[in-house]
């Protein structure tokens, strides 16, 4: 009801009439009030002048009868409640108008109810000879104003009701009744079968006696006929759209498969690069250990021959013992170095390939990740500084975190430092409540604002054709936001370096196994 046109028109018409009539009534009431108050003031001034002239002789002659007669003659004024006249002696005359309108004597000490009071002092050459007190009431003109206001309100109500009723009747007959008829006709047309092939069916709406109504019906009929034609065309368009939809879904499914394949290839490529670096790094200590062991074997054979031939000298034994001690030390240190590299790589490789959620200490684990990246880092003039002193226990996906850090460090080495310029990558880890913040900052060439806005987009790379796939940072974004349930932000300025800020929870809620394996594009 409140949203209907009829209701709103009634409110608007009634409100408009109310405002107009209330405004005019206000000004009429204001003029009436000013007129009555002015009449009251003039009556007071006139009474004062009259009494000043009339009572002066009465005070000089001390004629109380005369004073009483003058007072009674002025008590007919509707605004006067009482008048009291006194001289400096014993003369005191007072008259009070009772509630029934009769005049009674006013006692010298009695104060009647009044709204205003006028005091007239009679003097002669600075000598006081008498005083007259006149007590006024504003009830008469207030009653007239109130009666006038009630009359205005009554006229306003009758006017609003009359004009509103006439306008409502006119609108109901010439506006709302045709609208209701049109609504009924449209409801009937809504139930018609526009898709029928029967060309003899008539869908036109009925006409009326009003010109405006007929014009409206003609427009609606034209629209209905156009809709019928469009519906037949739409049937064929829907068939074509359905075929296009099926083709698009097929293409999308192929795109998803290709995307997943590319992501998996990128992950395995990163792991492959890690394997190649570790293999190269392990080759050195293993080679040294093998060479030393071979040399020790040769010297042992020589010593054995000398012992068998009784040609062994003390100096030969001392030389052999010195060589054996040095060789065992070299074999031990290099095999231990190879063992550390293999152990570090084994944990990192298992984490990256399995994506298993487990408990670990963040700082120690990140040190192992950087240790596994050392073969890639040490062949560049770039230093990596790692700042993490607190013990931060984590329950998350270490493999996902390893891939994130690997991609960020290798991305900085590839993009931030061109022409093999020297630089430093700083990794800072800070615990914040139940989260941890990891900052990876380089002092390289920086990123312009246009490139910065696209840096996490899939397949976007500034090294197109130079080994860049455009998936590294996109994988980082998706791993941080989806697998690790965190946030990642990047800030950079040209020639000022770039800083990646990662914020992830230390305790990750359990996820469905399939979900933890899934990486999608941003």
Task: Give 203-229 as a DSSP string.
Answer: -PPP--S-HHHHHHHHHHHHHHHHHHH
Q: Which two tokens stand for residue 110?
A: 């009695």
pLDDT band at residue 337 under the 50/70/90 scheme: low
pLDDT band at residue 471 under the 50/70/90 scheme: low
Query: CB–CB of 388/362 below 8 Å?
Result: yes
What is residue 489's predicted lDDT score, i.e. its pLDDT?
Answer: 93
Q: Residue 507: what are its φ and ψ, rounded to 5°?
A: -120, 110
Question: pLDDT per residue over 226-241, tens digit each?
Answer: 776 777 788 788 888 8
pLDDT band at residue 272 under the 50/70/90 scheme: low
For residue 377, give Cα distances in angstroms to 250, 282, 341: 44, 15, 15
What region does 361 belong to: left with phi over 0, alpha with psi -120 to 50, or beta?
A: beta
pLDDT band at residue 348 under the 50/70/90 scheme: low
Select, from the ranges 118-127, 192-201, 446-455, the one with the highest average predicted confidence (pLDDT): 446-455
- Higher-pLDDT residue of 186 and 154 is 154
Select, from the ranges 58-62, 84-88, 196-200, 462-466, the one with the highest average predicted confidence (pLDDT): 84-88
- C-alpha to C-alpha distance for 59 and 127, rounded to whole angstroms: 13
Rg (CA), the chain: 55
What is residue 514's predicted lDDT score, i.e. its pLDDT?
Answer: 44
- C-alpha to C-alpha distance for 506 and 509, rounded to whole angstroms: 10
Lowest mean pLDDT among 8-22, 333-347, 413-427: 333-347
Select, from the ranges 131-135, 196-200, 209-213, 316-320, the one with the highest average predicted confidence (pLDDT): 131-135
- C-alpha to C-alpha distance for 66 and 58, rounded to whole angstroms: 6
What is residue 59's predicted lDDT score, i.e. its pLDDT?
Answer: 76
Residue with tokens 């006929």: 225
- C-alpha to C-alpha distance for 112 and 84, rounded to whole angstroms: 11
- Higher-pLDDT residue of 350 and 80 is 80
- Higher-pLDDT residue of 511 and 304 is 304
Residue 520 pLDDT greater than 50, yes or no: no
Neighbours of 212 (CB within 10 A): 11
- C-alpha to C-alpha distance for 458 and 520, rounded to whole angstroms: 10
- 209-237: average pLDDT: 73
What is residue 122's predicted lDDT score, i.e. its pLDDT?
Answer: 80
What is residue 425's predicted lDDT score, i.e. its pLDDT?
Answer: 93
- C-alpha to C-alpha distance for 3 and 84, rounded to whole angstroms: 68
Judged by DSSP in three states, 490 sits in: strand
pLDDT band at residue 505 under the 50/70/90 scheme: very high
- Higher-pLDDT residue of 123 and 155 is 155
What is residue 429's predicted lDDT score, i.e. its pLDDT?
Answer: 94
What is residue 488's predicted lDDT score, i.e. its pLDDT?
Answer: 93
Q: Which two tokens stand for residue 367?
A: 């040190």
The CB-based long-range contact list for 40-48 (8 Å cut-off, 24+ gap) reads 40/79, 40/138, 40/141, 43/77, 43/79, 44/79, 44/116, 44/118, 44/136, 47/74, 47/77, 47/80, 47/118, 47/134, 48/118, 48/120, 48/134
Percent of the chain with pLDDT over 90: 9
Q: Which two tokens stand for residue 390?
A: 């607190």
- 334-348: average pLDDT: 63
- C-alpha to C-alpha distance for 178 and 415, rounded to whole angstroms: 75
Neighbouring C-alpha atoms within 13 Å toward the C-beta of 349: 17
* Mean predicted lDDT score pLDDT of the chain: 78
- C-alpha to C-alpha distance for 405 and 363, rounded to whole angstroms: 12
Residue 349 pLDDT greater than 60, yes or no: no
Residue 438 pLDDT greater than 90, yes or no: yes
Q: Which residues on adjacent β-strands are paired with residue 472?
A: none
pLDDT band at residue 518 under the 50/70/90 scheme: very low
What is residue 515's predicted lDDT score, i.e. its pLDDT?
Answer: 43
For the stretch 477-490, what's the b/e string if a residue is b when 16 or more beta carbons lie within 10 angstroms of its beta carbon? bbbbbbbbebebeb
For residue 382, give Cα distances in angstroms to 289, 418, 423: 29, 11, 5
Residue 361 pLDDT greater than 80, yes or no: yes
- 305-317: average pLDDT: 82
What is residue 393's predicted lDDT score, i.e. its pLDDT?
Answer: 92
Nearest Cα to 477, choosing from 506, 454, 448? 454
Nearest Cα to 269, choosing from 455, 466, 472? 472
- Higher-pLDDT residue of 285 and 444 is 444
- C-alpha to C-alpha distance for 437 and 216, rounded to whole angstroms: 68
Residue 267 pLDDT greater than 70, yes or no: no
pLDDT band at residue 522 under the 50/70/90 scheme: very low
Query: Concatenated DSSP letters for 450-475?
Result: HHHTTTTSTT--S-TTTT--S-HHHH
What is residue 498's predicted lDDT score, i.e. its pLDDT?
Answer: 93
For the stretch 399-429, what's the b/e string if a residue is b when 16 or more beta carbons lie within 10 angstroms of its beta carbon? bbbbbbbbbbbbbbbbbbbeeeeebebbbeb
What is residue 379's predicted lDDT score, i.e. its pLDDT?
Answer: 81
Rounded to the nearest 10 degrees, how much is the dihedral formed by the CA atoms of 294, 300, 303, 309? -100
Helices 139-171 and 5-61 cross at an angle (nearest 10°) of 160
Q: Which two tokens stand for residue 391?
A: 């013990």
Percent of the chain with pLDDT over 70: 79
Residue 249 pLDDT greater than 60, yes or no: yes
Residue with tokens 């974004």: 477
pLDDT band at residue 13 under the 50/70/90 scheme: confident
- 162-184: average pLDDT: 78
Q: Which two tokens stand for residue 488?
A: 């990642």
- 484-500: average pLDDT: 91
């Amino acid at each position: 009801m409140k949203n209907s046109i009829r209701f709103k028109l009634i409110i608007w018409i009634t409100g408009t009439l109310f405002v107009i009539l209330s405004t005019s009534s206000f000004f009429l009431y204001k003029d009436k009030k000013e007129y009555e108050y002015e009449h009251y003031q003039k009556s007071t001034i006139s009474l004062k002048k009259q009494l000043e002239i009339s009572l002066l002789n009465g005070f000089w002659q001390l004629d109380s009868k005369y004073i009483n007669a003058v007072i009674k003659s002025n008590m007919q004024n509707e605004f006067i409640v009482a008048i009291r006249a006194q001289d400096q002696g014993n003369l005191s005359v007072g008259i009070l108008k009772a509630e029934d309108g009769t005049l009674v004597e006013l006692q010298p000490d009695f104060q009647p109810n009044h709204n205003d009071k006028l005091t007239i002092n009679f003097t002669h050459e600075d000598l006081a000879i008498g005083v007259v007190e006149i007590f006024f009431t504003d009830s008469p003109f207030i009653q007239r104003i109130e009666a006038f206001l009630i009359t205005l309100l009554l006229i306003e109500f009758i006017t609003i009701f009359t004009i509103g009723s006439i306008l409502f009747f006119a609108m109901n007959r010439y506006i709302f009744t045709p609208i209701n008829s049109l609504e009924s006709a449209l409801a009937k047309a809504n139930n018609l079968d526009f898709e029928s092939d029967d060309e003899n069916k008539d869908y036109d709406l009925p006409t009326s006696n009003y010109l405006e109504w007929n014009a409206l019906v003609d427009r609606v009929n034209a629209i209905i006929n156009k809709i019928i034609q469009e519906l037949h065309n739409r049937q064929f368009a829907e068939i074509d759209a359905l075929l296009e939809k099926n083709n698009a879904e097929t293409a999308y499914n192929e795109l998803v498969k290709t995307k997943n394949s590319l992501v998996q290839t990128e992950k395995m490529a990163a792991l492959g690069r890690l394997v190649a670096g570790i293999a190269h790094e392990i080759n050195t200590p293993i080679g040294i250990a093998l060479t030393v062991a071979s040399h020790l074997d040769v010297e042992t054979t020589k010593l054995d021959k000398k012992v068998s031939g009784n040609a062994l000298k003390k100096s030969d034994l001392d030389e052999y013992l010195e060589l054996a001690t040095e060789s065992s030390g070299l074999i031990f240190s290099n095999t231990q170095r190879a063992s550390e590299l293999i152990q570090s790589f084994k944990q990192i490789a298992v984490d990256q390939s399995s994506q298993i959620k487990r408990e670990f200490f963040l700082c120690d684990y990140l040190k192992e990740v950087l240790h596994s990246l050392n073969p890639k880092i040490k062949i560049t003039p770039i230093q990596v500084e790692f700042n993490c002193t607190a013990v931060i226990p984590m329950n998350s996906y270490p493999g996902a975190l390893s891939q994130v850090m690997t991609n960020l460090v290798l991305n900085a080495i590839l993009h931030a430092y061109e022409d093999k310029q020297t630089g430093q990558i700083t990794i800072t880890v800070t615990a914040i409540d139940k989260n941890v913040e990891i900052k990876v900052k380089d002092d390289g060439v920086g990123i312009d604002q246009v490139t910065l806005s696209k840096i996490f987009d899939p397949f976007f790379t500034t090294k197109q054709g130079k080994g860049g796939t455009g998936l590294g940072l996109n994988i980082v974004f998706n791993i941080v936001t989806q697998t690790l349930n965190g946030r990642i932000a990047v800030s950079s300025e040209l020639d000022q370096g770039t800083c990646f800020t990662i914020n992830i929870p230390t305790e990750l809620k359990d996820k469905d196994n399939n979900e933890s394996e899934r990486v999608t594009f941003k």
